[in-house]
Structure 1
Amino acid sequence: MTTAERSTSADLLSKVSAIRPILEEHAEWGEANRRISPQVHEALKSAGFLRMWKPKAYGGFELHPAEAYSIFEELSAIDGAVGWNLNQHAAVSAMSTWLRDGLDEIFADPDASFAGVFWPAGSAVEVPGGFTVSATVRFASNSQFADWFLVPAVVMDGNEPRIDPQTGGPDFLATAIRMSEGMIRDTWRTMGMRATASNDVTVDNVFVPAHRAVRVFRLGTERPAALSNPLYGIMPMHGAQAHASVPLGIARAAVDRLVKLAATKVPNFYEITLRDRPVAQAQAGEARAAIDAASAYLASTATAACDAVAEGTPLPVEHKMAMQLAAANAASATMRAMNLVHQAAGTSVMFNGSGFEKLYRDASTITLHAAVQTNRFESVGRMMFGHEPDWFAFQL
């Protein structure tokens, strides 16, 4: 990690504190309206957060992953939806560098906002100059503010998927469309993470020029000089870990809330405050240990992976496995910490408006994401036992 990266990270962390009042002021509005407010998005944009993982050649910061995770955590401790949508934007903006021939267009505005998904894939038909793409994708976080949308698609020959002769699998594309060419469907009515507005998006027969489409499974490991930063050599594992940093921030907020509650709450049938009860002390300490250890695991595996690709070499599968384990572990540690907080706080967590219940709903929702859920332990374990990978991220 360079001195410049540390300086940029410290500057952004200070800006988290600066915009905290705006995030707190609009959190209830976001929950009620199922989307982040325009004022919050503008605060993130004005402070430079949308540039975190964009190439320096286009005005971005190329922030070290471990430093970025800290920022996602800090924001998520204030409002999980804000941390989530920012990490989604950042991860997709980094993956948009796969579109090597389209960089000048896609990154013309260094503050452009990004959204995108990797599944389910839509369909593409090859036409002169590019492709026409149709798809309906789910969980399109940040699409509300996005300028660019990354859409997966399989090239079709009639009703059958075209087979890529180089990979032997379906001819899979990542395509970038202008968000104005897609239609957001108001489908996001959920238990938690309500303000992320992770709605479905439909793309209907949109023309995508060839320079904004790429066969990601053919990319190989060579990166142009403008993308020499190790960040661009560990994709898409950076995304899984970024996702995992958000629930850790939510869990930290729950522990902080427990500490404040413990100073005044006298549990029923006791004559001492919660802070003086040894069992609550142990639960608080164990919760913090789970969060801190998981956060450190994310940072250490990301740093080791960046070191491994620093000279332009491909990311070894062992590092992919370690990064994935750290991401899944973060989700698991989050729920362990949340349950410890609930056990310590008792019935105080049950009531709407307590703050605890929203944090629990958000954490429970976000840890179901495919990139961090417990299935990913299985994905790594099967590879440890010599089986072929079942998780697409290991195949890139």
Structure 2
Amino acid sequence: MAAAEEGKAEGREYKDDKVLPQVRRHHLPPLPPPPYVKPHMDNELLFIICQAGSQSFIYKTSLMDLNPDLSPRLGIATPLKPHYIVPGDDHGPRHFFVSGSELYAVSFLKDGMYVLNLDTRCQHLDPLARRPVSSVDPFIMAIQVGRATLALTETLQVYRKAHLVCPPRSSSWVRCMTDHSQIPDRKVKLSGYVVVSDNSFIVCDTLTCSCLHFDLDANKWHVVMPWAPWGEYPPRDMSSYRFLNGRCVFVDGFIYTCSGKGLAAYELLYEDNCVYLDIPIYLPLSWESEMWRTERMCLDYAGKDVNSGAILFWVVQGLQMKYRDPQNKLWITAVKVEVEKTPRKSMTPVGIRHVVSATRLIDQQETMDQKEVISTRCCAVSF
């Protein structure tokens, strides 16, 4: 008993005539969060285009705005103001494409084209962009393919923007004489599109979930076929896989698009003068995934990681709100897709993680209908 009392006095336990040392637990303070490391991105500026009724509102943000150290001051607390406001087009939505340091807005049916300088806040209307397009076959897309500026109609007629000698500095949309023999003669409802080379692009039809490839050098359309190794049959539901959403990105042999689970990547293959798409590789987002919807998502290429070769993307999601609010939310995320080289020399994606993200608010404009903004697909253009 004396030993026990002595052990307790010295901070030890006494058991079975033995004095045992007492274990003392020390609670260390939590480690500080790792310092913010700014990722290398080729395109650090981001322009987000929201169609609101007949108008287009364009917002500008940057990688610095998403710095978590600055988020209390630059995140939700600072709403984004419109960098440009493009006047409305009562006939339909405008189509945007980037060429150099300028962003162009093409009308659904009208002549003329708005030109927005991304280096400055200057914008002007080019009234000389004439278009010989009837009201029954409007433009559904405008796109920059290599050095050519192209527009597409519902019947898959391709128009090239050409500069005219007379009158000086005038331009016009000139129809390309295209070969449609390899595709059905019908109208399409565009779901997505992507430039895959300096002389070709692919569009996806919502009605059939089929993809069509256009060769600008040959002025010829082809149906994109499902890929299957020799001796194997493609999946029966392959048509449901070949679905592109909005403006997609082609990099290192794969087409990247937004999907219901996050991103999807399709390998593009060429063999015997045919174009193929492999089954998709899904890259689910682990953050806010339940509230993200494909029809309100958009992405753009942001660059490559100089050390690992991973691909960086901007991903933007508009929030669907069930009530009218003076401000609308946007989730802006920079994601990194890890890749590995395939035997075909393409770079297959193997994983995805977010680099940095923030929630930004959009001020409610007097002429902006909140319901129309959140239900209309936005478009992200990096620069």
TM over 0.5: no
TM-score category (smaller protein): under 0.3
Report the structure, 1 or 2, having the larger helix content. 1
Report the structure, 1 or 2, having the larger strand content. 2
Structure whose CA Rg is larger:
2
